[in-house]
Amino acid sequence: MTSRKWVQFFMKTLVIGAIITLIIGLAFDVNEYALFIKRGEYIKVALGLFGLLLKGLLYSVYSQMGFFAYLTIHRFGLNFFKSIRLWNIVQSVFIIFALGDLIYLRYIDVAHGKGSILSYLIPSFALLVVGVVVASYKAKATNKDAFVPALFFMTVITIVEWIPALRINQQLEMFYMVTTLLVCNSYQLLTLHKTLKS
């Protein structure tokens, strides 16, 4: 990839992250922004929108760091195991453990092992569904061996990128971040091969 292509790729992902977070923020706080506008408190509106844009840019940077880290990990895994099939088995094991840990560790840490575990299943299940859909598109666009690496990236790497919001444990912040990460990760994964060919 040339430096020009990389800069374009980076900037497009930044813009996508900012726009997604801005849309989600406006959707959740539309009444609050409407009230500010009605009162003529335009500075609060501007500061709120600016804050959302900054969050989106930050989440996008997390996404891009995770993506390029994964490209390095993937290359290392291929070189170490000498077989795409064996490396895919290893990645599949990591996917199972990561999704399981997202359920169990959060249940223990947040709910202290009390109450229903059902609400802690939803994030893992949602990540898995999105991951399978995106990985299926990636496999169709490139080759069938790309499915497991794509699923690994969309689940395991997204969970790692999501850790700052998981630690805070504020539902809205977690939703902002994971949605932006998933969109940015999907964009990068599904367009990288096109960017390299162009």
pLDDT at 109: 81
Domain enclosing residue 179, as ranges: 3-197
pLDDT at 26: 92
pLDDT at 171: 87
Domain count, the chain: 1
Structure-derived torsion over alpha carbons of residues 17, 184, 178, 153, reported in degrees to the nearest 10 = -160
- Residues belonging to the chain: 198
pLDDT at 1: 66
Q: What is the mean pLDDT of the chain?
A: 92
pLDDT at 124: 94
pLDDT at 114: 76
Give the side-chain half-sphere CA count within 13 A for 121: 4
Residue with tokens 């859909």: 133
Give the side-chain half-sphere CA count within 13 A for 147: 11
All residue ranges of the chain with pLDDT < 70 are 1, 113, 198
Other residues' Cβ atoms within 10 Å of the Cβ of residue 57? 15
Other residues' Cβ atoms within 10 Å of the Cβ of residue 196? 11
